[in-house]
Amino acid sequence: MSAATTHDEVTCMNEKKVDLASLKSKGFLPQRQENMFSMRLKVVSGNLDAEKLREIADAAEKYGSGYVHITSRQQIEIPFVKLEAAEEASYELEKQGISGGSAGKRVRAVVACQGDRVCRNGLIDCQNLACRIDEKYFGEAVPKKLKIAVTGCPSACMRPQENDFGVMGTVKPEILEENCAGCKRCEKACKVGAIKVLEDKARIDTEKCILCGACIAACRKDALRAEKTGCTIFVGGKAGRQPRQGTKLLELADETQLFSILEKTFEYYRKEGLDGERFGELLDRLGIEKYREEVLP
């Protein structure tokens, strides 16, 4: 690279300068091989229908090396796309309703588990929620990349604590003592020792309870029911070289609260975040309490 070429530009074989930032915004990530790119495709909540999978397979054979890479964030990438073929590959897939993934200082595609549509442990409709969040915020410009994850229960398979904004389905159990037979099925089902049967009646230690709902699912006497189902929200998490565990912001939030907090979070990040600063770094710099005051009623 010549001294006159910035880090956001590369020079192809005919000496034409190419804007890397522009390519990244369309989902093209430079490979270590000269003039080769990995084409990232947008996948929301890990779901693609069979027809789109066929189109992607065809594109991988036509423009890449005949295979795809599935990333840790449920995205699909086609490696070894030549620079001169990038525009055509993007156009062909766009015609099939397959758009490029987000890269750079933008909101990434929302990742999600299958939630209560499929999983026996799922407490919320993760797929619907992820699609709504993605439709509203995908690709939005922010000070640094921002990742959002939606997971259906405290098993936390989507690692909401390791995302800038994490959503986890939770449920608060309520005991109906008149129905409790003291069978201890709930006690055996609880993985954290939060529920015990004492004098033939179930008792919940709210300090230990993680709101997973396993006790409710295990009960056969209708002695346990959901008092409230909602979302626990985590903020400021990230993985990488300097991982940060997300801070628990709110438990059992309803959808109105969730989207209000999310919108205010974007406003806060854009207003207070420094260029290149991850959201967790912003929280460390200004303090979590300042953020809480801005987003919580």
- Give yes or no: residues 164 and 17 share one domain: no
- Give yes or no: residues 283 and 159 share one domain: yes
> What CATH number does the domain containing 238 carry?
3.30.413.10
Last residue within a domain, chosen from 62, 95, 128: 95
User: What pLDDT score does 11 carry?
Assistant: 45
User: What pLDDT score does 104 carry?
Assistant: 84
Residue 201 CA to residue 178 CA, distance in Å, equals 9
| Residue 257 vs residues 23, 122, 139, 194: alpha-carbon distances, Å | 36, 20, 23, 27
Does 178 reside within a domain?
A: no
- Give yes or no: residues 141 and 67 share one domain: no
- Give yes or no: residues 232 and 147 share one domain: yes
For residue 77, give its domain range: 9-95
| Total domains, the chain | 2
Does 206 reside within a domain?
A: no
Last residue within a domain, chosen from 64, 95, 126: 95
- Give yes or no: residues 54 and 130 share one domain: no
Does 198 reside within a domain?
A: no
User: What pLDDT score does 23 carry?
Assistant: 80
- Give yes or no: residues 68 and 165 share one domain: no
- Give yes or no: residues 135 and 277 share one domain: yes
pTM: 0.88
User: What pLDDT score does 26 carry?
Assistant: 81
pLDDT in tens, the chain (297 residues): 444 444 444 444 444 456 777 787 788 999 999 999 999 999 999 999 999 999 999 999 999 999 999 999 999 999 999 999 999 999 999 999 999 988 889 999 999 999 999 999 999 999 999 999 999 999 999 999 999 999 999 999 999 999 999 999 999 999 999 999 999 999 999 999 999 999 999 999 999 999 999 999 999 999 999 999 999 999 999 999 999 999 999 999 999 999 999 999 999 999 999 999 999 999 999 999 999 999 997
User: What pLDDT score does 7 carry?
Assistant: 46
> What CATH number does the domain containing 55 carry?
3.90.480.20
Last residue within a domain, chosen from 68, 95, 122: 95
